[in-house]
């Protein structure tokens, strides 16, 4: 049988995969006693407390809970405990685990073992090793902050996120969550600014809480719960799709007759192999101390979702990275590939990452929980208003923080939120906001009187947000849900922007409160004024209609809201004056650090599109064109022989013409693509990125349309790429 039939080998393998893989992995012997296994591969606060000398624990606890600085003596003691714990778990190596600006995570493993003079070896791990690492970091992007000849960057332990162990059949490694900075102290990662933003939020919120008389609150932290959507396909298909291999998404593929229109996949029962995969992935996450909670099918065929219980934002962000890594790793054991790309399949829903966000105090109170007492309600309304003000003031920056080549396929595509950032707060709260705006906040729709001073807020339905899926930023009962984040993105940066913008809004509103109060108002009256002004100011950001409609595009423009449709339009907001001022004022990122991030984001965008363009060209020339020519050759042979034997060959001739016409158009289009992609469009990264988005991307799309047309003409057994129908439905 000729090589042409490779695609069917894949189908054959997939057919057999389920039973063999299940027999190998899903033997039903996995310990799923969650209480027993939860956190066994994670160095929890409890274990540290148990094993550390009391005096050391007291200092460390202050660092973990209150972000107090840590000294080396404490680090030495912690290092001893950490090494002990890790070696008990079979770890031979350790690594500082960090989030470089590529968006993935990075690790460089060092052994605990040091040879000694007597020819043996001892294990060693000091406070110094724990606190600081020096990876040879010249290949991580720095956006001009660290020239390659000054390769030294260093990693530093982040004691607020627990260390954990990554196992492999042949050994284990202790992972120490860390920040990553240049030798001059400039941040080269996502975690540093996240930690700084949490600190700014803490500082400003504490200031407010003092005014509210909450003197015993010692810290405020952001909370995060991140819902992850992903696709699973059989690896046999993956290996036969060069586009999935290089770009994480299909660059070709005709729409199958059946897509997601029947909605029969959503919340449907989960196939066996997939369920086995989920169980094992969840088990691994439990062991790492990641509190995953829900799983279900998503809207598109072969699309799923996993969501955790929320945690403090920094830990939640690390756990989100671990979740992505674990999904990818465990999928392979089941012969599957986990696709985290925002849009692996054209014409089907893409994947997002709903980022649920709120603020919690040291007393365990959620600051976005409407309360039972007038006092709690006033406080709630203050922080609620501050979050809305943050979104209003920094729409551009929020949009920029989630800009990527992948997310461009999603935002505004009638399945994900539009590119316009607006907020949805539900009917009840909208009613209250209206009343406060008009200065008559005395009644509510349902339960009579509203205080500022008067009883309680009505019960806000927790699932109010679900009634408007089109909103990018929705209040869902006791938290906000930022829904525009892409499935493959790190949540750290959008959370950093949100924290900082909210810190700034709280700061401004608290200052206004203080001003009112210093001129004689009591807290209640001062608050009434501040809320009145704030809700009036932020009015344009509130939108309760259909975010997918054309009317909204017009209406948003009238309101002066930004509508940044692409990455290239959004990214400049990183270094807008307002953004620089914000980040510098709250010591989250310096202007230089912001500029470097802009450059890295542009660079990533440029590389991704360039790889896609080259892969497109490659697949067309080496797979699609040859397959089409073989077919054409075959029809022509029929024509020749048909004519010789006196058959009427009119219709086969028409068919040959049809195939030939599309083939010729495709050859012209792919030639054009090659030419425009050879031209770099300029010397600088912004010029190159702009060229790709404006000139190359449209040519790529034209090539795809023609190729997809051929997929419907060329015989199925000649077509070299696994089809959408196969990848999504044969499993």
Residues contributing to the site for ligand ADP (CB under 6 A): 223-225, 227, 307-310, 356-358, 366, 463, 465, 476, 478-479
- The smaller minimum CB distance to ligand ADP, of residues 432 and 498, is found at 498
Nearer to Mg ion, 354 or 608 (CB): 354
> CB count, 10 Å around CB of 462?
11
Of 249 and 354, which has the nearer Cβ to Mg ion?
354
CB of 544 to ligand ADP, least distance (A): 17
DSSP 108: -
**Taking CB under 5 A as the rule, which mask of x and - marks residues 324-363 in contact with Mg ion?**
------------------------------x---------
The residues, any chain, with a CB within 8 Å of residue 389's CB and separated by 6 or more, are 505, 508, 509, 534, 537, 538
Token pair recorded at residue 318: 């690390």
CA separation for the pair 612, 192 (Å, rounded): 31
Find the shortest distance in angstroms from Cβ 442 to ligand ADP.
29
Q: Give least dist CB 633 to ligand ADP, A.
A: 56
Residue 61's closest CA among 49, 72, 73? 49
Q: Minimum distance between the CB of residue 307 and Mg ion, rounded to whole angstroms?
A: 7
Q: In sequence order, what DSSP letters do the residues of 3-46 get, joined into one string? A: GGGHHHHHHHHHHHHHHHHHHHH--S-----HHHHTTTTB--HH
Residue 41 or 476: the one with the smaller Cβ distance to ligand ADP is 476
Q: Which stretch of DSSP H or E encloses residue 229?
A: strand 220-234
For the bound state, the minimum distance from the C-beta of residue 351 to ligand ADP, rounded and expressed in Å, comes to 16
Task: Give the shortest CB-402-to-ligand ADP separation in angstroms.
Answer: 17
Q: Please, which residue, 357 or 493, has the CB nearer to ligand ADP? A: 357
Closest contact distance (angstroms) between CB of 477 and ligand ADP is 7
Q: How many CA atoms lie within 13 A of 608 on its CB side?
A: 22
Distance of alpha carbon 91 from alpha carbon 163, whole angstroms: 12
From the CB of residue 239, how many other CB atoms can be counted at a distance below 10 Å? 15
* C-beta nearest to ligand ADP: residue: 225
In the complex with ligand ADP, the residue whose CB is nearer, 227 or 234, is 227
Structure token digits, residue 666:
């495709």
Q: Give the residue with the Cβ less far from ligand ADP, 369 or 671.
A: 369
The CB-side HSE value for 188 (13 A sphere, CA atoms) comes to 29
CB of 666 closer than 8 Å to CB of 710: yes
CB nearer to ligand ADP: give 312 or 621.
312
Q: In terms of Cα–Cα distance, which of 465, 503, 491 is closest to 387? A: 503
For 485-589, where are the alpha helices, taking DSSP H only?
A: 492-518, 523-537, 550-559, 567-570, 577-585
In the complex, least distance from residue 226 CB atom to ligand ADP, rounded to whole angstroms: 7
> Interface residues with Mg ion (CB under 5 A)?
354
């Amino acid at each position: 049988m000729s090589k042409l039939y490779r695609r069917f080998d894949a189908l054959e393998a997939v057919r057999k995969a389920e039973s063999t893989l299940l027999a190998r992995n899903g033997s039903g012997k996995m310990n799923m006693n969650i209480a027993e296994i939860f956190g066994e591969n994670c160095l929890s606060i409890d274990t540290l407390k148990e094993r550390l000398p009391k005096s050391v624990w007291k200092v460390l606890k202050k660092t973990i809970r209150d972000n107090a600085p840590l000294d080396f003596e404490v680090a030495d003691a912690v290092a001893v405990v950490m090494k002990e714990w890790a070696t008990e778990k079979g770890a031979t190596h350790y690594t500082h685990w960090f989030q470089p600006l590529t968006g993935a995570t990075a690790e460089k493993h060092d052994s605990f073992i040091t040879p000694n003079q007597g020819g043996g070896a001892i294990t060693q791990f000091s406070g110094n090793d724990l606190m600081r690492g020096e990876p040879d970091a010249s290949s991580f992007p720095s956006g001009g902050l660290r020239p390659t000849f000054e390769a030294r960057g260093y990693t530093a332990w982040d004691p607020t996120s627990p260390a954990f162990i990554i196992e492999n059949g042949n050994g284990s490694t202790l992972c120490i969550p860390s920040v990553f900075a240049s030798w001059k102290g400039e941040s080269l990662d996502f975690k540093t600014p996240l930690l700084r933003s949490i600190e700014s939020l803490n500082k400003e919120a504490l200031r407010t809480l003092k005014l509210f008389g909450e003197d015993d609150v010692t810290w405020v932290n952001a909370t995060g719960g991140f819902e992850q959507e992903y696709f699973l396909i059989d690896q046999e298909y993956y290996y036969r799709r060069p586009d999935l291999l290089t770009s994480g998404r299909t660059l070709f593929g005709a729409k199958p007759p059946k897509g997601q229109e029947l909605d029969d996949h959503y919340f449907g029962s989960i196939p066996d192999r997939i369920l086995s995969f989920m169980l094992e992935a969840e088990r691994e996450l439990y062991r790492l101390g990641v509190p995953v909670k829900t799983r279900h099918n998503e809207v598109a065929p072969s699309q799923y979702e996993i969501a955790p219980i929320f945690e403090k934002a920094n830990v939640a962000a690390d756990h989100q990275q671990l979740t992505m890594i674990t999904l990818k790793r465990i999928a392979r054991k089941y012969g599957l590939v986990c696709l985290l790309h925002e849009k692996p399949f054209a014409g089907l829903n893409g994947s997002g990452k709903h980022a649920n966000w709120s603020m919690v105090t040291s007393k365990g109170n959620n600051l976005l929980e409407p309360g039972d007492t007038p006092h709690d309600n006033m406080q709630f309304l203050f922080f609620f208003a501050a979050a809305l003000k943050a979104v209003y003031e920094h729409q551009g920056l929020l949009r920029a923080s989630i800009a990527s080549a992948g997310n461009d396929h999603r935002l505004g595509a009638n399945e994900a939120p539009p590119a316009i950032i607006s907020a949805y707060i539900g009917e009840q709260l909208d009613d209250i906001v209206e009343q406060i705006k008009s200065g008559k906040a005395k009644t509510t729709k349902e339960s009579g009187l509203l205080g500022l001073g008067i009883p309680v807020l009505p019960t806000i339905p927790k699932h109010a947000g679900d009634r408007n899926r089109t909103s990018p930023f929705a209040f869902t009962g006791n938290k906000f849900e930022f829904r525009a984040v892409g499935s493959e993105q790190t949540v750290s940066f959008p959370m950093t922007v949100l924290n900082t913008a909210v810190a700034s809004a709280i700061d401004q509103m608290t200052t206004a409160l203080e001003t009112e109060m210093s001129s004689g108002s009591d807290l209640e009256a001062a608050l009434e004024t501040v809320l009145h002004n704030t809700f009036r100011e932020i009015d344009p950001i509130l939108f309760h209609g259909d975010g997918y409609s054309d009317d909204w595009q017009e209406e948003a423009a009238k309101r002066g809201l930004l509508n940044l449709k692409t990455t290239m339009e959004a990214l400049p907001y990183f270094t807008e004056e307002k953004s620089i001022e914000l980040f510098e004022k709250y010591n989250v990122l310096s202007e230089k650090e912001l500029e470097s991030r802009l450059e890295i984001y542009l660079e990533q965008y440029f590389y991704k599109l360039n790889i896609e363009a080259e892969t497109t060209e490659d697949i067309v020339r080496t797979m699609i064109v040859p397959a089409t020519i073989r077919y054409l050759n075959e029809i022509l042979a029929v024509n020749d022989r048909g004519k010789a034997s006196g058959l009427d060959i009119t219709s086969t001739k028409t068919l040959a013409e049809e195939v030939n016409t599309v083939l010729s158009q495709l050859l012209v289009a792919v030639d054009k693509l090659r030419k425009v992609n050879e031209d770099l469009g300029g010397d600088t990264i912004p010029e190159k990125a702009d060229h790709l988005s404006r000139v190359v991307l449209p040519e790529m799309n034209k090539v795809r349309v023609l190729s997809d047309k051929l997929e419907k003409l060329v015989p199925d057994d000649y077509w070299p790429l696994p089809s959408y129908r196969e990848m999504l439905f044969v499993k």
